Every structure is written in C-alpha cells, then in structure tokens.
Structure 1
Amino acid sequence: MIRWLAALAVALTTLIASPASAYWEYGHGVVARIAYEEVRPETRAKIDALMARYDAVDTPTCPFDTIEDVAYWADCVKPLGDRYAPAFPWHYQNVNICETFSLSEPCANGNCVAAQIERHARLLADIDLPMHERIEALAFLTHFVGDLHQPMHAGDMADRGGNDVPANYGLLKGRRLNLHAIFDGYLAERAFTTSPGGARGLVSTYDRATLEAYKGGDVVQWSREMWIVSKDYAYPLLLDTIPCDTEVTRKTLTEEDVQVLIPIMREAAVKGGMRLARLLDDALSEGKAPRFRRL
C-alpha cells in the first residue's frame, strides 16, 4: 500500500498536488459519500444499521465508523492474508484498450470488478443471509463501484492497469511512479479537492436530470464508459499516442494534461456515486437483486 510523501512545490507552469492519501482512500470515500447522501432515508437507515454491526465481520483493525471507512474496508483487509486473498482480482478488470471492448475474458469465472459488483449487490439484497455476509457485501459493493470508476481499473494495455507504465507527474519524478499510481494518488486528490471539492461540491455542479440519468445503464455499460476514458484520455495524454506495439518509455503528465483530466475524474466519481446509490436503494429498500446482461 503506497503512502504518498509530501509533494514538491509549485514550479513553472506545472502544479504538483500533495495527496494525503490515494484514490483507494480519498476517491473511494467521495464516491461512497455521494451515494450515502443520495440514497433514500430508509436505505440510509439500513446502511447505518449494518455499519453498527460491523463487529460481526471480525475485522477490528478495519472499523466502520463512517461510510468512508466502509468504502476503504476492502483495501484495509488486504494485509489479513489468506482470509481475503481470493478477493484481490475482484478490484479491477483491465480490458485491453488496443483490442475490441469485451468483458468475456477479463471476467472469466467472475474474477473482475464488474461481476463482483453484481454479485455483492445480490448478496446485500438477500435478507436470509447471515449478518456478517451482508455487511461484507455492503463494504465490497461500495468499494468495487468506486474501483470501476477509476479508469485504470477498467482499461489498460496489458500493463497491469498502468502499473508497468513509468511516468512523471509534472516535476515529480521517481522510480516507483507510474500511470496507475498517478491516477490513484496525485490526480485523484487534485480532482476531488479542486473547488468545489468533496462529495457535495462535486454533485453541486450537476443538475438533477443529469444526476438521475447517470443512474441508468448496467455494469457492462459503466465498464465500457471507463474503458473509453482510459483509451481516449489516460494513455493518449501521457504518451501522445497509444503505442500498442511498442515499448513505453517514461513520459510526463503535464499540468495541461491534468487540467483536461480533472473534470473527467470528477464526472467519473459523480457517476459512481449515483450508480452506487441506485444499487443500494434497489438492494436495501426494494430487495431487488440486479440482473444485468451477461458479461
């Protein structure tokens, strides 16, 4: 788990952010908070009731004090070893942007984020399941919707979601800095703290009709949207092209590139929050198990 150091100072035209935490904390929290404030009151009450019973899950190092804690839980439990090791591939799907979009191969045997969103929404809706299973389902669902709306979890060039693409973030350079880390950390916090920042700030820039429209579609459509962001923006802005047949050398994501990406990241987070709210309302207030089209 990468903990970001303090950022470098602003220099020339390249502004560098200093994230206190990465997407898996800050970004997930924003998506979850948007959803929590968007759901029906009765849904929120049921979320609170599940959160209050978090002891049933028996992960005391990863408590549920806030909805942001719930969103982060799926990453928090990764160090617990074999207990949650099978969940590692559920956080992403990385459909190759150099090929035709399809979830068939990345989601084989259900080991991808889209399939696990469906699965955990169904588990959450099943009131006959033991309490600890439904609490875990709430946490996994909340986290995975956030994961899907981080573009580097949805599309790549067979490079482990950009982890194998060395990159600089403006003047910030480092051996371990790569495209995935930039989206997870510096770019995520830059996008979500740019005024108006935070969950309410992000949502305030959209009208109600647009927000309701974001709730539409299914997990396949949402996956394709984020794949397109990766294909049309994340890689081209960094590399000037998509070098599908050539080795990628270290490039720099410039301030101009960041300014293009900020509204795209913000929109993705708002979409994620609205879609998570829909899934939570369906599962907890309607008892509806999502049945999306085949992956």
Structure 2
Amino acid sequence: MKLASLKTLLLSIVIMYLPVQTMAWGTNGHRISGQIADSYLTPKARAAIKAILGNESIAMTSNWADFIKSDPQYNYLYNWHFINFDKEYSYPEMQAFLKQDTATDAYTKINFLVGELKKKTLAKNNKLLALRMLIHIVEDVHQPMHTGHLTDKGGNDVKLTWFNNPTNLHSIWDSQLIDFQQLSYTEYTAWINHTTVAQRTEWQKAPVSQWLFESNQLAAKIYAGVKNDDKVNVYRYNFEYIGILNNQLVKGGVRLAGLLNQIFGA
C-alpha cells in the first residue's frame, strides 16, 4: 500500500474514533428539527434554499456534517459542532463569556456562517457548505449536552447503562431517548410540531446567546439527574425528560427557520 493511501486510511480510522460529542441529536433528531424548520420557511427563503440544495431537503441535508467526518479533508470542522462551558452560567455571565469568545466553536461559527451566506458573491460550492453547516450547528446547540462540560466531553465520559447496555449521557440525548419513541422522523415531527404564532415569534427573536443559555441551563439539570455508572430506569427517565427533549427539537427547528428566513429574505 502506498504511503499516501496508508495515511488516508489511518486518518479515517482516527475520525471514526473521535469523541462522539459532535454527534448532536443523531440521525433522526437532526431530521426532525430540519423537517420542522422546513414547515416555517417563507416562499422566498424556500426558493433560495432549493437553489442551493437542489432536491435535497433540509431534513436530509441536516446530517451531512456528521456523515462527512470519515473524510479527513473536513477534520477542521470538528470543533464547529459544540461549545463547552465549565459551569451553569447566569445569562449575564453567558453574554460576557460570548462577548470575549474567539475560539473555534458553535457560537463563533454560527455567526461566521450567517455572514458568509449573506454575501451575494459567495461561490456556489462555498454556499452549499455554509448552508449545510449552519443547518446542522443550529440544531446541534439545541441538544443540551453540546453546551456541556469540557472535562467530560459534553457527557461522553458520564458512563451509564440503558436497557442493560453500556452507554453514556451524551449518547442518550443524541439518539437513545429519541429512538425509544419508535417513530420515524416524519411521524415524530407530526407528533411534536404544534407551535403557535406567539411561540414562534418569541423563540425566533431570541439571540444565539439565549439559545446557548437555555441549553446550558438544561445541561445542568441533566447532569444533576444521574451520576457516573448509574443504571438508568429508562421508563422513568423518559417520563421526566421527554418533554424537555421534544421542546428543544421544536425550538431548534423554529429558530433555524427564523434564521434562514432572515438570511434569504422574508
């Protein structure tokens, strides 16, 4: 095997075993929020997005940023998916932190991608990348463990047992709690996507700092609900947390739609 091919193979293996912190929601979770976002687009935004994505829906493109992790040329996108906080922040503390934030993280990259997509002269391939990443990251930050602690990789190091199978806190919120409902992403969307105009208006006017504050507050609650090596009572956990999870899926979709409508015109 040639050296270059061997290096590519090794890099691919490394990517496969990177911490799963960047897998916010999971395949169905991202598609649910994407489908919700699609339902609240303005005609102008819908047309502009179709011109970029072609026949690929928001729901389907929302997982692209996770699927391409096997390609080493996209390694630089790893830190775009999350933002770690070392504690539960008050909103003024959150605002002060973000005001000084210059790291490569979800907050700085959401702002960057919005700016890129507003450029009239942005090349088509760059526009496609920017849109795919923005869709994914906006959904990511509504998964509370993507605003979790750096020390435990957003809950990845909080080891738990779920139906007698080893897992971790982050994975439960990525996919296992969603998968427990045994619904397709379209069925799930039909179940939870029932917002009022007042709700959508309130959620969409909130700045990104508010999104992160809310997720950080929820992450603190989620951390407090378990301890390392717990055997999770799945039915009780579902009862206690499914409302929070569903609300975040809906909020992520509604806010994504609001942001895309803002970028591409009302």
- Aligned CA distance change for structure 1 residues 105 and 212 (closer, same or farther; 3 Å): closer
Alignment of 1:41-80 (within 5 A): 41-52=43-54, 65-80=56-71
Residue identity matched to 1:90: W
Residue identity matched to 1:214: W
The answer as to whether partners of 2:140 and 2:146 remain within 8 angstroms in 1 is yes
Q: Which has the higher helix share?
A: 2
- The 3-state SS of whatever aligns with 1:135 is helix
1:227 aligns with 2:216: yes
1:36 aligns with 2:38: yes
Alignment of 1:176-215 (within 5 A): 177-190=167-180, 193=183, 197-204=187-194, 206-215=195-204
The answer as to whether partners of 1:214 and 1:271 remain within 8 angstroms in 2 is yes
User: Residue 293 of structure 1 corresponds to which residue in structure 2?
Assistant: none
Residue identity matched to 1:136: L
150-159 or 25-34: which moved more?
Answer: 150-159
1:106 is displaced (CA, Å) by: 11
Q: Where in structure 1 are there 5+ consecutive unaligned residues?
A: 3-20, 53-63, 240-248, 287-295
- The 3-state SS of whatever aligns with 1:161 is coil
CA distance in 1, matches of 2:134, 2:74: 15
257-266 or 107-116: which moved more?
Answer: 107-116
1:42 is displaced (CA, Å) by: 1.3
CA distance in 2, matches of 1:71, 1:161: 21
Which of 237, 242, 255 is residue 257 of structure 1 equivalent to?
A: 237
After superposition, the CA RMSD in angstroms is: 2.7
- Aligned CA distance change for structure 1 residues 218 and 238 (closer, same or farther; 3 Å): same
The answer as to whether partners of 2:89 and 2:216 remain within 8 angstroms in 1 is no
1:143 aligns with 2:136: yes
Which of 111, 116, 135 is residue 118 of structure 1 equivalent to?
A: 111
- Aligned CA distance change for structure 1 residues 276 and 222 (closer, same or farther; 3 Å): same
Residue identity matched to 1:259: F
- Aligned CA distance change for structure 1 residues 223 and 257 (closer, same or farther; 3 Å): same
* TM-score (ref. length: structure 2): 0.82
Q: Which runs of 4+ in 1 moved over 4 A?
A: 98-101, 105-108, 194-197
The answer as to whether partners of 1:30 and 1:199 remain within 8 angstroms in 2 is yes
CA distance in 1, matches of 2:33, 2:158: 26
- Aligned CA distance change for structure 1 residues 215 and 221 (closer, same or farther; 3 Å): same
CA distance in 2, matches of 1:24, 1:282: 26
1:167 aligns with 2:160: yes
1:45 is displaced (CA, Å) by: 1.2
Of structures 1 and 2, the one scoring higher in RCO (CA 8 A, sep 6+) is 2
What whole-Å deviation, never above 9, does each CA across 1:163-182 have from its counterpart, x for those lacking one?
A: 1110112x3322xx111111
1:128 is displaced (CA, Å) by: 1.0
Residue identity matched to 1:231: A
* TM-score (ref. length: structure 1): 0.74
1:195 is displaced (CA, Å) by: 11
Q: Where in structure 2 are there 5+ consecutive unaligned residues?
A: 1-15, 18-22
User: Residue 8 of structure 1 corresponds to which residue in structure 2?
Assistant: none
- The 3-state SS of whatever aligns with 2:220 is helix
The answer as to whether partners of 2:80 and 2:109 remain within 8 angstroms in 1 is yes
User: Residue 147 of structure 2 corresponds to which residue in structure 1?
Assistant: 154
The answer as to whether partners of 1:94 and 1:153 remain within 8 angstroms in 2 is yes
